[in-house]
C-alpha cells in the first residue's frame, strides 16, 4: 500500500510482450520492418486517415509537418499558449516564430481568437505558414467552430494530437482534422512505445516527403547521395511491436481512465469550487480521458494546487500542475501572444490527478483519502 502512485505510467501486459518477442526473433531489429508497416496501417485506420509514418517521437512528427507547410525563418506559426513545450519547440526547429493564442475554459485553444490572430498577422503582411491546434489532455478542439475558416485564409492546419489518440469530435477521430497530425507514444501518454510518434495525413506526397526527410534525405542513387539536410526520425521495429500490442488494448485503457475520472468526480461532487476540465464543459464521452484535470476556485477553496501537490507528494502520490502557458515561459518571453488570461488562470488553479489505466480502485481511494480533506477547508 505504501507504493508510490504515479500520474500516468506505462501500462504494459503480456500482449505487448508477445509482439516484442516476435519482433526480436524475426531479425528485424532496425528502424524499419513488418511491425512498423503494420503499426502504421493500424494507426491510420484507427484515426481515419489514409496514411501514417512511424517516427521516433511526436515532436519529430510535428517538425516534419511544419517543414512540409513551409515553416521557416520568414514565417510565423500560430499555436495555443496552453500546451507542452514540444509543440513550440517543433516550431522553433524550423526557424519560424511562434505566435501564441489563449485558451477557453476547457483549456483548448480559443478558436475565435485563433482565427482573429491569423487575420491580424496576415493584415500586417506576415506569412502564416501554419496553424497548429493542440487536442489538450485527451480532448479534441472545437473543430466544428473552426470549420473551414483556415481554408478561406489559405493557412494549413497541423493538429497536435499527441495527447488525444482515441478521442473524437462529433464522432470523427482526433488526428484526422489537420492536413497533417502528430501522435505521441511517449511513456506517459494514453498508449506508449516507450518513446515514439506518428505523422498522420491523407496526403501521400506529404508522407512520402516526410519519410524521405526522416531517413537522412537519401536520394534514390546506388550510393549515398544527398541534396538536402535530413533527419534520423524513424521508429524502430521493436518499438512498433510494442505499439501494436498497446493499440490492441487502447479501448480498454481509455475505458479504465474514464472510470477513474468518474471515481474522482463522484467522490468530489459535493465540494464547491472543484471543476473537472473537459467533463464540466460537456462532451466527456468523446475524450480519451488521458489525464483527469481539476481546477480549484480560489474564492471557494482555501488551498491551492502547489500546496495540494506537496501534501499528495508527502503521501506518496504524484500530481502535477497543468502545462505552464508558453507565453509565461522565459524562453518565449519575447514571443507574440494573444491572451485573455484564461490559460494563466487555468495554470494557477489547475492540477492533474493520477490517471494511469493501471491504477486500481484502492489506489484511487488512497488518492481521494488524502485529496478530499485538503479541498474541504473553506476559503476565508
Ligand X SMILES: *Cc1c(COP(=O)(O)O)cnc(C)c1O
Binding site for ligand X (CB under 6 A): 57-59, 83-84, 86-87, 134, 160, 162-163, 184, 186, 197
Closest to ligand X by CB, 276 vs 290, is 290
Q: Which single residue is written with the C-alpha cell 502520490? A: 317
For 377, phi then psi, to 5°, come to: -60, 130
Closest to ligand X by CB, 19 vs 290, is 290
Q: How distant, in Å, are the alpha carbons of 5, 235, 253, 272, 369 from that of 267?
A: 18, 41, 21, 12, 10
Query: Could you tell me the three cell numbers for 179?
Result: 492536413
Alpha helices in 158-225 (DSSP H): 204-214
User: Whole-number minimum distance, CB 83 to ligand X, in Å?
Assistant: 5
Residue (of 310, 311, 335) closest to 325 by Cα position: 335
- As a whole number of angstroms, the distance between CA 135 and CA 80 comes to 10
User: Whole-number minimum distance, CB 295 to ligand X, in Å?
Assistant: 19
User: Whole-number minimum distance, CB 188 to ligand X, in Å?
Assistant: 8
User: Whole-number minimum distance, CB 216 to ligand X, in Å?
Assistant: 19
User: Whole-number minimum distance, CB 333 to ligand X, in Å?
Assistant: 21
Closest to ligand X by CB, 197 vs 273, is 197
User: Whole-number minimum distance, CB 143 to ligand X, in Å?
Assistant: 16
Closest to ligand X by CB, 184 vs 355, is 184
Q: Where are the beta strands (DSSP E) in the chain?
A: 51-55, 75-80, 97-101, 127-134, 157-160, 168-169, 172-173, 180-184, 197-201, 274-276, 292-296, 320-321, 336-338, 350-353
**Is the separation of the CB atoms in 234 and 54 below 8 Å?**
yes
User: Whole-number minimum distance, CB 163 to ligand X, in Å?
Assistant: 5
User: Whole-number minimum distance, CB 352 to ligand X, in Å?
Assistant: 12
- As a whole number of angstroms, the distance between CA 231 and CA 220 comes to 16
Closest to ligand X by CB, 90 vs 364, is 90
Per DSSP, what are the bridge partners of residue 109?
Answer: 103
- As a whole number of angstroms, the distance between CA 293 and CA 375 comes to 15
Closest to ligand X by CB, 184 vs 295, is 184
Closest to ligand X by CB, 287 vs 301, is 287
Closest to ligand X by CB, 140 vs 375, is 140
Closest to ligand X by CB, 83 vs 246, is 83
User: Whole-number minimum distance, CB 189 to ligand X, in Å?
Assistant: 6
Residue nearest to ligand X (CB): 58
Pair type for strands 127-134 and 157-160: parallel
What is the spatial order of strands in the sheet that 180-184 belongs to?
51-55, 197-201, 180-184, 157-160, 127-134, 75-80, 97-101, 336-338
Burial of 169 (0-12, 13-18, 19+ CB in 10 A): buried
**Is the separation of the CB atoms in 152 and 54 below 8 Å?**
no
Amino acid at each position: 500500500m505504501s507504493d508510490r502512485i504515479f500520474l500516468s505510467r506505462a501500462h504494459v501486459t503480456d500482449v505487448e510482450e508477445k509482439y516484442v518477442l516476435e519482433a526480436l526473433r524475426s531479425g528485424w531489429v532496425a528502424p524499419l520492418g513488418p511491425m512498423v508497416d503494420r503499426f502504421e496501417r493500424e494507426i491510420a485506420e484507427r484515426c481515419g486517415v489514409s496514411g501514417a509514418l512511424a517516427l521516433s517521437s511526436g515532436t519529430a512528427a510535428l517538425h516534419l509537418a511544419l517543414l512540409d507547410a513551409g515553416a521557416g525563418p520568414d514565417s510565423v506559426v500560430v499555436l495555443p499558449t496552453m500546451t507542452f513545450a514540444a509543440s513550440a519547440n517543433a516550431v522553433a526547429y524550423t526557424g519560424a516564430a511562434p505566435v501564441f493564442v489563449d485558451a477557453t475554459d476547457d483549456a483548448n485553444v480559443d478558436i475565435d481568437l485563433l482565427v482573429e490572430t491569423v487575420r491580424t498577422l496576415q493584415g500586417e503582411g506576415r506569412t502564416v505558414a501554419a496553424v497548429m491546434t493542440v487536442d489538450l489532455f485527451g480532448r479534441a478542439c472545437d473543430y466544428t467552430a473552426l470549420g473551414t475558416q483556415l481554408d478561406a485564409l489559405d493557412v494549413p492546419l497541423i493538429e497536435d494530437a499527441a495527447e488525444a489518440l482515441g478521442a473524437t469530435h462529433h464522432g470523427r477521430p482526433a488526428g484526422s482534422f489537420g492536413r497533417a497530425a502528430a501522435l505521441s507514444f511517449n511513456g506517459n501518454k494514453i498508449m506508449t512505445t516507450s518513446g515514439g510518434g506518428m505523422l498522420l495525413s491523407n496526403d501521400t506526397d506529404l508522407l512520402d516527403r516526410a519519410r524521405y526527410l526522416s531517413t537522412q534525405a537519401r536520394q534514390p542513387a546506388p550510393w549515398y547521395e544527398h541534396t538536402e539536410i535530413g533527419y534520423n526520425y524513424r521508429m524502430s521495429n521493436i518499438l512498433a511491436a510494442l505499439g501494436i500490442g498497446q493499440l490492441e488494448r487502447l479501448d480498454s485503457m481509455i475505458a479504465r481512465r474514464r472510470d477513474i475520472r468518474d471515481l474522482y468526480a463522484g467522490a468530489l461532487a459535493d465540494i464547491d469550487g472543484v471543476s473537472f476540465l473537459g467533463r464540466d464543459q460537456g462532451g466527456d464521452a468523446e475524450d480519451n480521458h488521458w489525464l483527469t484535470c481539476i481546477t480549484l476556485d480560489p474564492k471557494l477553496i482555501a488551498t491551492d494546487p502547489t500546496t495540494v501537490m506537496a501534501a499528495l507528494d508527502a503521501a506518496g502520490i504524484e500530481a502535477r500542475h497543468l502545462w505552464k502557458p508558453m507565453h509565461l515561459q522565459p524562453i518565449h518571453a519575447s514571443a507574440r501572444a494573444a491572451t485573455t488570461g484564461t490559460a494563466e488562470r487555468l495554470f494557477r488553479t489547475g492540477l492533474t490527478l493520477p490517471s494511469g489505466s493501471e491504477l486500481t480502485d484502492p489506489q484511487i481511494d488512497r488518492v481521494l483519502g488524502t485529496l478530499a480533506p485538503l479541498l474541504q477547508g473553506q476559503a476565508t
